[in-house]
Structure 1
Amino acid sequence: MFWQGTGGRKWVKKVQQEWSILEKNLPDYIYVRVFEDRMDLLRAVIVGASGTPYQDGLFFFDFYLPPEYPQVPPSAYYHSGGLRVNPNLYVDGKVCLSLLNTWTGRGNEVWDPSSSSILQVLVSLQGLVLNEKPYFNEAGYEKQVGTVEGEKNAVPYNENTYLLSVKSMLYILRRPPLHFEDFVKSHFRKRGHYILKACEAYLQGNVVGTLTDDACTTNRSTEHSSSVGFKLALAKILPRLITALKEHGADCDQYEHLGKTDPVRES
């Protein structure tokens, strides 16, 4: 018996090996659902890491394993909600990543049928795409890493990325992907308090992408102040975010005042 969408017994065995690797080795903050009746499909969610402008966001990816797999890499689709949260993640769902052969790369950066895996793809998305300074993911901008100009430009880029990440939260809260409805509700119920704590820290001028897992500030948080434009834009989104989080059972009482914040003035 062959499953729908499969490429034969050898293909089935390879996919089952992938499942086993994922079950034993998935890092924290990455979750995957497989489908026994559609072995060619997987759905994954990556939780945005602390210390990044993606903190506590949920980023969903679908993967299709073609009959030629693993001779060819899986196809990936990102649930964008119409938002471009990262240079590698397009509004139309395209995922640019060397391992998927959708971006340039060399050596172990590109797909190798004998050694590459879905796990590697997910870890790359977590560490190389949803990272602390996505500005440097822009084509050609990696040359600015470590330069004064690059670090300066990365700051407003992170602010805009965080605004997009918050809007992405609203999209996921409103339209959770199929089979992840309970996961989404549980995540935002547990993390809603810390999401709003982070928003408050940023409204107070702390640097975006410098907070701990419990949204506390670090030494890097006060290196400079977040821009007035960013704080105004964040304050405008917050009433909707607070309402959505409360609807999902999050404890928002301590941060209700953020939804009534007066316009930010430049001091």
Structure 2
Amino acid sequence: MDLLRAIIIGPSGTPYHDGLFVFDCLFPPKYPNEPPMVYYYSGGLRLNPNLYNCGKVCLSLLGTWHGNNTEMWVPGQSTMLQVLVSIQALILNAKPFFNEPGFDSSYPGAEGEKKSNHYNEEVFILSLKTMIYTLRRPPEHFQDFVVGHFRSQAHDILVACSAYANGALPGSVVVKNGVADVNKTGKGSAYGFRSSLAKVMKLLARDFVKNGSTDCEKFQTSRS
């Protein structure tokens, strides 16, 4: 096999939760003695320091970023599964602001947390736009998966959006039985974020309804 297409579901507890992130992987002739090449379908959006809008995936395991020996590709031992798990765990994480080299030391303590929270707000908006992009242009061979995922998750996604518009920090909400459970508190939802979120929510709700999701109509006119 020379090519592989994968979709990673954004992990709970991160500003990427419930999103779908599409990657194409090319296995070079010397694989597994050298790492695969991975392309990210960004839709032109930069929602992580390690995921470029041109599609580049910056990861030591892929040889696209320097790292220590334990983080690099080990010929004959490292695997494609390891790459995908690393993207999900190390890139699509709860505080992607600190993925930028040196930011963990340059912005310690409260200042770093404030900047990280603000970055998560920006990232969450881009993640919602990625949902719209993916739903409108589902990747080939994954059309049914995309439709099914967003049809089942639509209401919970929009409930979480409402909680973020009301002050919860993006990534902090888990929806249980249609009710938002905020598992951490903090000062969030600046006016600019709330305004952008309200606009994207309406577009997303409209697309969710077109996709066959139920109980989403009320979010099309929400004034969050």
TM-score range, shorter chain: over 0.9
CA contact (8 A) 1:235 1:258 kept: no
Instruction: State whether structure 2 residue 15 is matched by structure 1 residue 63.
Output: no
Instruction: State whether structure 2 residue 155 is matched by structure 1 residue 193.
Output: yes
**Other-structure match for 2:44:** 82
Matches within 5 A, 1:53-202: 53-144=15-106, 147-202=109-164
**Structure-2 change in CA distance of 1:206 and 1:61 (3 Å):** same
SS in 1 for 2:159: helix
Instruction: State whether structure 2 residue 221 is matched by structure 1 residue 260.
Output: yes
**Other-structure match for 2:8:** 46
Instruction: State whether structure 2 residue 201 is matched by structure 1 residue 238.
Output: yes
CA separation in 2, counterparts of 1:109 and 1:213? 35
What letter matches 1:258 in structure 2? F
How far did 1:97 drift?
0.3
How far did 1:245 drift?
0.6
What letter matches 1:41 in structure 2? L
State the superposition RMSD in angstroms.
1.5
**Structure-2 change in CA distance of 1:61 and 1:164 (3 Å):** same
What letter matches 2:182 in structure 1? T
CA separation in 2, counterparts of 1:61 and 1:93? 9
Matches within 5 A, 1:217-232: 217-220=181-184, 222-232=185-195
CA separation in 2, counterparts of 1:54 and 1:213? 14
How far did 1:223 drift?
2.1
CA separation in 2, counterparts of 1:78 and 1:192? 23
**Other-structure match for 2:212:** 249
CA separation in 2, counterparts of 1:228 and 1:142? 27
Percent of paired sites with the same residue:
51
How far did 1:228 drift?
1.5
CA separation in 1, counterparts of 2:108 and 2:62? 28
Q: Between 157-166 and 193-202, report the one with greater CA deviation.
A: 193-202
**Structure-2 change in CA distance of 1:61 and 1:194 (3 Å):** same
Unaligned runs of 5+ in 2: none
CA separation in 1, counterparts of 2:182 and 2:78? 36
How far did 1:224 drift?
1.8
How far did 1:147 drift?
2.0
Greater RCO (Cα-Cα under 8 Å, separation 6 or more): 2
Question: What is the CA deviation profile of residues 138-164 of structure 1, one whole-angstrom value per residue up to 9, with x for unaligned ones?
Answer: 122132576222111101100000000
CA contact (8 A) 1:239 1:259 kept: yes
CA separation in 2, counterparts of 1:216 and 1:175? 29
CA separation in 2, counterparts of 1:85 and 1:181? 23
CA contact (8 A) 1:85 1:165 kept: yes
How far did 1:197 drift?
0.8
CA contact (8 A) 1:50 1:213 kept: no
Unaligned runs of 5+ in 1: 1-38
CA separation in 1, counterparts of 2:19 and 2:108? 27
